[in-house]
Amino acid sequence: MLIGRHPSAMTADRHPPQVSVRPCEFGLGLFAVRPFAEGEEILEFSGPELSFEAMLAKGELEANTLQIDDSLYLDLGAPGVYANHSCLPNAGVRNDRQLVALRSIRAGEEIRYDYSTTMWENHWTMPCRCGQVNCRRVVADFPTLPSQLQRRYLHLQVVQRFIVERLRQQVRPR
C-alpha cells in the first residue's frame, strides 16, 4: 500500500508518492518508491506533540514517538512511524523532523535510521535486531554510542538539535 500523499493530491500536483509501507522482517517498514540521492529529503516526520508524561502514558506505544526536545516528543503518524532502526542506517534525521538520505538509496530499499541519534532521556531502550555486522545489540541514548560514531553523526548533521545543544553545554567552561 502506498503511503505519503493522498491520491487526489497526487493528481492535483502530479507528485507521485515517495515512500511505501510494506511488510518487512520487523512487521512493517518504510521503503523507497523511487531512488533518493545522498542528502535528499525523504519525508518530514509529523504528528501531535507530546510531553514526556504523555509519551509515557502511551505504554508500549511510546516506541512510536520521536524525541524532538528535552521533554517534547512527536507522536509519529504514517508513513514516518514505519521507519525502522539500523546500526548502519541509510537515512538520518535533520532539523528534528526531516528524514534525509545518508547515501544513495535505491527504489525498493528499506529506509532506516539510527534511533539513538534522536534520544537522550535515560528512559527507553530496546533490543536491536538490525542484523548489521556492527549491531550494538541495544538501542539507547546518544551518549551510549561509541565516540567515533557520535562524531560521525554530528558531522553528518543527523543528531537532534537539543542533543547538540546539550553536548555544547558540556564542553563550555562554567
- Give the CA distances from residue 66 to residues 42, 98, 129, in Å, rounded to whole numbers and listed in that order: 16, 12, 19
Residue-wise pLDDT for 142-152, tens only, equals: 999 999 999 99
Backbone φ, ψ for residue 13 (5° rounding) = -105, 0
| pLDDT at residue 10, rounded to an integer | 36
- At residue 133 the predicted structure's pLDDT band, cuts being 50, 70 and 90, is very high
Q: Which CATH architecture has domain 2-43+81-171?
A: Beta Complex (2.170)
Across residues 72-96, what is the average pLDDT? 97
Q: Which three three-digit cell numbers place residue 69?
A: 526536545
Would you say residue 3 has pLDDT above 60? no
Separation between Cα atoms, residue 37 and residue 14, nearest integer Å: 20
Residue-wise pLDDT for 4-19, tens only, equals: 333 333 333 445 689 9
Q: Where are the domains of the chain?
A: 2-43+81-171
| pLDDT at residue 157, rounded to an integer | 98
Q: Which three three-digit cell numbers place residue 133?
A: 555486522
